[in-house]
Amino acid sequence: MKVDVYKRPEQEGMYSYLAVPEGRPIPEEATNIDWETAENSIDLDENNEPVLGLSAEDALSQISDKGYAISHTRAYKLSIGPSV
């Protein structure tokens, strides 16, 4: 499946990515964010490497369920010492 990929800045220079089937607009529920074009006409195939943080299997499943796929950066906090 060919997809267009958009990005938005997150913390510490990281990005989240949104993939939609090629030529389709960004879905209305995701338009409240300023997405920038990252890549056009990317071949999202289960046999290929992940594209911009989107694994093909996960992205194709999300696209099937809701018409688009999104990756999220995750921030992990490490607590050192006893919890009080």
pLDDT tens-digit map of 58-73: 889 999 999 999 886 5
Predicted structure pTM score: 0.77
Inside any domain, residue 81? no
Structural domain boundaries enclosing 25: 2-71
Inside any domain, residue 83? no
Inside any domain, residue 12? yes
For residues 73 and 30, give the distance between their C-alpha atoms in angstroms, rounded to a whole number: 16
Percent of residues, the chain, with pLDDT higher than 70? 85
**Residue 5 DSSP one-character state:** E
Inside any domain, residue 58? yes
Question: How many domains in the chain?
Answer: 1
Inside any domain, residue 84? no
CB 73 within 8 A of CB 11: yes
Inside any domain, residue 64? yes
- The arithmetic mean of pLDDT across residues 15-43, rounded, is 88
CB 21 within 8 A of CB 72: no
| Amino acid (1-letter code) at residue 13 | G
For residues 20 and 40, give the distance between their C-alpha atoms in angstroms, rounded to a whole number: 10
For residues 38 and 4, give the distance between their C-alpha atoms in angstroms, rounded to a whole number: 8
